[in-house]
Amino acid sequence: MRRRKFIKNSLFGMMGAGLYTWQVEPFWVDFVYKKMHIKHLPKKLIGKTIMQISDLHISKKIDLAYLVRAMQKAQKLKPDFVVYTGDFLDYTGAKQFSRLQEVMKKATKGSIATLGVLGNHDYGHRWNDAKAANQVSKILRSCDIHILRNQIKRFQGLNFIGIDDYWGTNFHPSKVTKQIHSKAANLVLCHNPDVCDLKVWNNYQGWILSGHTHGGQCKPPFLPPPILPVKNKKYSSGTIDLNDGRTLYINKGLGCSSLQVRFNVRPEVTVFTLRKDYEVNKVKMS
């Protein structure tokens, strides 16, 4: 009898965990709040917010209504800047473009600016469909989202530096990193955090916002995720000090890749409050 009861309880437990992984956690958005200290930040931007949204993975497999609801909830926080760090869709054909348009016309926007970079899935099959990536960029720009493809865009004294996707056909980071001025306020957007380990940074010091990993999407409690789509397995999620003046932040994504399932890795929207860099020294001295 004990054995039967154990098996019965185990089955119920597995069914409950499966239901949670499929129907609860993928829709349970975690709003994460962080401070972001930026060198040479103009006084008028101190206290302003940058919201990071990543990895929507718009497709027929993903509940589009959920994405819209999540972004509408995020909009209520009234962010000053919104940055999207790639993988807007899982491109499998032209039908995805209408889905992208449907969702992104209701996307979260910043009161000052809304920007983004592309991810590997925006490049379609084997990440090499440049025409698909161009169409994604065109649709996003029509929704008033500035897509940076190895480009710098300046808003109110803050430079947003966008590096195109590492696995895509337009990965030329040196084109933009060589334009970085160390005496300016800078912030880098780069979908794949593995780019941090390449020798392309021109002594850049500052924040890098990435996505791509989904935090592993499913992982055991108290253990690292078993699967990560990066070479450097330290690049899972959250804040990582690169010990050279750069700070990496990896967002766990709002959508899901392949299947809409998550376990112990809730979908994320990150809200950064801007602070001037001298405040870091004050904290250390106190």
Give the tens place of pLDDT for each residue, 6-44: 444 444 444 556 688 878 999 999 999 999 999 999 999
Cα-Cα end-to-end distance for the chain: 63
pLDDT for res 61: 85
Rounded to the nearest 10 degrees, how much is the dihedral formed by the CA atoms of 36, 251, 269, 170?
100
pLDDT (0 to 100) of residue 17? 63
Sheet containing 246-250: order of strands: 151-155, 158-163, 185-190, 206-210, 246-250, 238-241
Average pLDDT over residues 76-94: 95
Sign of the CA dihedral with 260 first, then 264, 266, and 270 last: negative
CB atoms within 10 A of CB 8: 10
pLDDT at 85 over 70: yes
Cα–Cα distance between 268 and 52 in angstroms, integer? Answer: 9
Structural domain count of the chain: 1
Please state the rounded mean pLDDT for residues 155-179.
97
**Looking at the predicted structure, is the pLDDT value of residue 286 above 80?**
no
- Is a pLDDT exceeding 70 seen at residue 83? yes
Of 204, 193, 187, residue with least CA distance to 246: 204
Of 219, 223, 186, 222, give the one whose Cα is nearest residue 201.
186
Q: Rounded to whole angstroms, how far apart are CA atoms 131 and 91?
A: 11
Q: The domain that contains 281 carries what CATH number?
A: 3.60.21
Distance CA 232, CA 248 (A): 13
Cβ partners under 8 Å of residue 41, min gap 6? 157, 158, 185, 274, 275, 276, 277
Which domain does 60 fall in, by range?
Answer: 2-285
Q: What is the mean pLDDT of residues 119-132?
A: 95
Tokens for 212, please give them: 């791509």
Phi, psi of 14 (to 5 degrees): -65, -40
Q: What is the mean pLDDT of residues 67-74?
A: 97
CA distance 61 to 24: 16
Q: Give the mean model confidence (pLDDT) for residues 185-209.
A: 97
pLDDT at 92: 84
In one letter, which amino acid is 140? L
Please report the pLDDT score of residue 15 as a whole number: 53
What's the predicted TM-score (pTM) here? 0.92
Give the chain's mean pLDDT.
91
Is the four-CA dihedral 141, 215, 46, 188 of positive or negative sign? negative
Pairing of β 146-147 and β 49-53: unpaired
In the chain, what percentage of residues exceed pLDDT 90?
83
Would you tell me the crossing angle of helices 95-104 and 130-142 to the nearest 10 degrees? 30
What is the longest distance spanned by two Cα atoms in the chain?
73
Checking if the pLDDT of 226 tops 50, the result is yes
pLDDT tops 80 at residue 103:
yes
